[in-house]
């Protein structure tokens, strides 16, 4: 063989080896990513050829997302029996627009493509049995979810309820909501029309306000400031300044109290009373007295500056406490303003940690993964401790202070017959001059044996005058309805 032929042969051999190496790499290492890529038509057709597993809630389990056989290339149609009530939890399953919510995060189980079912799929191929997806059972309490939905009414806002001892999410409601059924339609124009309408809506109904959007929390953040104070030498009856206005350091501006008056006699008050009446000036003082390092550390122990939700069950946004605030900014941060941002999920975590003797649990939404028969349980979510946010003694003191808020302070609309409630109100400025404030409330009950922690935010209340927008008036009754539903179920 002459030299040119040898070179050509060697080149062809190298090309063959490169091709084999690439095929091996794609099959062995990239197959999973390629199969899970949204828009992969071959994979989608395969998914639609088998029955997708249901998303379940309650006991006995009821489907809030299920598949039914239909005629056509796509053999099964995804349907949502109570669409708007659970839309931000289930998400949607669309041939054209992909997946969201639990439909996205648990797709391998719902579609039956999880690695755990590899041998099951081989058996189905041999026997000719039609493969099916598995079921995903959620932690949602149907009564609590419905109570939150009804109590929110026509207001724009959201609600989260958590079981303090485990972190299980009992309710997650966001309004306005949307109907995922048109997005699941097999008619592409129907999908496109629904998608366009949802994205053009100024109220952004597809946004999960309960977890994926963050807002100024206002006075509910005073729970974090109170916790930092009690963990660092202060007592509930410690006396602190509570003048009508707090002079911001290094500034000519002031922080006023909402009623323009001092919080106690001689411009002084106890921390318990400051929390009871939501005294801005006392907490602004405490923020600067404690210092940035202490405040930042306490906020992060409650979950600020990190993304919550175990296993990525739902897209959630990290709350924020500014790590480099100067003295005037720190005073504002201590009352939940400046750059402090949170969603109801985060605020519910704060209350849940206090209710759970100071131990913060990672919130989760998926309770069980079940096999295609929907009976065999494949996996159960184990509760996970995030941090010891405060000591058990501090948690006890905070509970007593929060009970005082509901019994004799700004949170009286959350009172429940025969059940002691611990809570905190909040009214936060949006930062936009013409926009109304946000009304917040967070609570847990029973105070002596907590079963549920709740956080509520009202962003817009169309039937409420601007001056009447406050956490106690608007948000507290919603939290009460959810707590009553959980305790009565």
| 10-residue stretch averages of pLDDT, the chain, 489 residues long | 62 65 54 52 70 95 96 91 97 94 94 67 53 92 98 96 98 98 96 97 96 95 98 97 93 89 92 97 97 98 86 87 96 96 97 98 96 91 95 98 97 96 92 79 98 96 66 91 94
The pLDDT of residue 366: 96
Has residue 189 been placed in a domain?
no
pLDDT confidence of residue 136:
97
pLDDT value of position 17: 65
- Asked if the structure places residue 423 within a domain, the reply is yes
Instruction: Report the number of distinct structural domains present in the chain.
Output: 1
- What pLDDT does 252 receive? 85
Give the pLDDT confidence score for residue 264 in this predicted structure: 84
Measured CA to CA, the distance from residue 148 to residue 56 in angstroms comes to 19
| pLDDT value at residue 33 | 54
Residue 173 lies in a domain: no
pLDDT at 164: 98
Domain that holds residue 459: 218-372+383-488
**For position 436, which CATH number holds?**
3.40.710.10
* pLDDT recorded at residue 20: 65
Is 149 part of any domain? no
> What are the Cα distances from residue 344, in Å, to 169, 222, 364?
12, 15, 14
The model's pTM is 0.89
Give the active site residue among 158, 174, 219, 278. Answer: 219
Nearest 5°: phi and psi at 304? Answer: -65, 150
Spatial CA neighbour of 341 closest among 319, 323, 326:
319
| Residue 52, in any domain of the structure | no
The confidence score (pLDDT) of residue 112 equals: 86
Q: How confident is the model over 36-64, as pLDDT tens digits?
A: 555 555 666 767 778 999 999 999 999 99
Within 13 A of 305's CA, how many CA atoms are on the CB side? 12
What contacts 27, CB < 8 A, 6 or more positions away? Answer: none
Q: What is the pLDDT of residue 307?
A: 83
Q: Which two tokens stand for residue 57?
A: 């809630």
Q: For residue range 162-205, list pLDDT tens digits in order.
A: 999 999 999 999 999 999 999 999 999 999 999 999 999 999 99
The pLDDT value given to residue 295: 98
Q: How high is the pLDDT of residue 472?
A: 77
Residues 61, 374: Cα–Cα separation, whole Å: 10
Asked whether residue 17 is domain-assigned, the answer is: no
Beta strands in 403-451 (DSSP E): 422-428, 438-445
Q: Establish if 274 belongs to a structural domain.
A: yes
Rounding to the nearest 10 degrees, give the CA dihedral for residues 483, 92, 78, 191: 140
CA distances from 150 to 81, 84, 175, 316 (A): 17, 12, 11, 24
Tokens of 144: 């609590």
Residue 418 counted as domain residue: yes
Distance CA 175, CA 387 (A): 31
Return left, alpha or beta for 250; rule: phi > 0 is left, psi -120 to 50 is alpha, else beta: left
Q: How far is CA 131 from CA 29, 72, 80, 429, in A?
A: 25, 18, 22, 54
Active-site residue, 219 included = yes
Burial class from Cβ neighbours inside 10 Å (0-12, 13-18, 19+) for residue 466 reads: exposed
| Cβ burial, residue 124 (10 Å; 0-12/13-18/19+) | middle
């Amino acid at each position: 063989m002459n030299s040119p032929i040898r070179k050509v042969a060697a080149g062809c051999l190298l090309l063959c080896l490169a091709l084999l190496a690439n095929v091996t790499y794609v099959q062995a290492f990239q197959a999973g990513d390629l199969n899970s890529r949204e828009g992969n038509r071959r994979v989608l057709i395969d998914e639609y050829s088998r029955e997708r597993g249901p998303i379940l809630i309650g006991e006995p389990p009821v489907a809030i997302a299920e598949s039914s056989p239909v005629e056509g290339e796509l053999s099964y149609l995804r349907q949502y029996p109570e669409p708007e009530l659970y839309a931000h939890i289930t998400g949607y399953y669309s041939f054209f627009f992909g997946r969201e919510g639990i439909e996205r995060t648990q797709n391998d189980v719902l579609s039956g493509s999880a690695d755990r079912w590899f041998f099951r799929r081989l058996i189905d191929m041999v026997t000719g049995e039609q493969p099916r997806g598995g079921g995903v059972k959620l932690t949602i309490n149907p009564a609590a979810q419905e109570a939150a939905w009804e109590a929110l009414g026509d207001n724009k806002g959201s609600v989260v309820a958590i079981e303090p001892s485990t972190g299980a999410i009992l309710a997650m409601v966001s309004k306005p909501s949307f109907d995922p059924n048109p997005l699941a339609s097999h008619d592409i124009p129907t999908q496109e029309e629904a998608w366009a309408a949802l994205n053009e809506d100024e109220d952004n109904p597809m946004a999960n306000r309960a977890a994926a959007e963050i807002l100024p929390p206002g006075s509910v953040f005073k729970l974090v400031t109170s916790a930092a104070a009690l963990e660092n030498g202060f007592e509930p009856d410690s006396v602190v300044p509570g003048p009508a206005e707090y002079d911001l350091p290094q500034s000519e501006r002031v922080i006023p109290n909402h009623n323009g008056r001092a919080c106690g006699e001689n411009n002084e008050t106890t921390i318990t009373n400051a929390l009871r009446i939501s005294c801005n000036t006392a907490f602004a003082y405490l923020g600067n007295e404690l210092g940035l390092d202490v405040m930042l550390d306490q906020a992060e122990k409650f979950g600020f500056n990190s993304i919550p939700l175990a296993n990525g069950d739902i897209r959630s946004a990290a709350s924020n406490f500014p790590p480099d605030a100067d003295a005037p900014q720190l005073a504002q941060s201590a009352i939940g303003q400046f750059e402090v941002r949170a969603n109801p999920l985060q605020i519910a975590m704060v209350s849940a940690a206090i209710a759970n003797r100071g131990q913060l649990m990672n919130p989760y939404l998926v309770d069980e993964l079940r096999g295609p028969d929907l009976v065999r349980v494949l996996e159960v979510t184990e509760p996970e401790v995030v941090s010891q946010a405060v000591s058990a003694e501090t948690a006890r003191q905070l509970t007593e202070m929060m009970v005082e808020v509901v019994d004799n302070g700004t949170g009286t609309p959350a009172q429940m017959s025969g059940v002691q409630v611990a809570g905190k109100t909040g009214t936060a400025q949006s930062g936009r001059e013409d926009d109304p404030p946000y009304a917040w409330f967070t609570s847990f009950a029973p105070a002596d044996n907590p079963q549920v922690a709740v956080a509520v935010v009202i962003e817009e209340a169309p039937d409420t005058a601007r001056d009447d927008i406050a956490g106690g008036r608007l948000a507290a009754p919603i939290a009460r309805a959810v707590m009553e539903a959980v305790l009565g179920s």
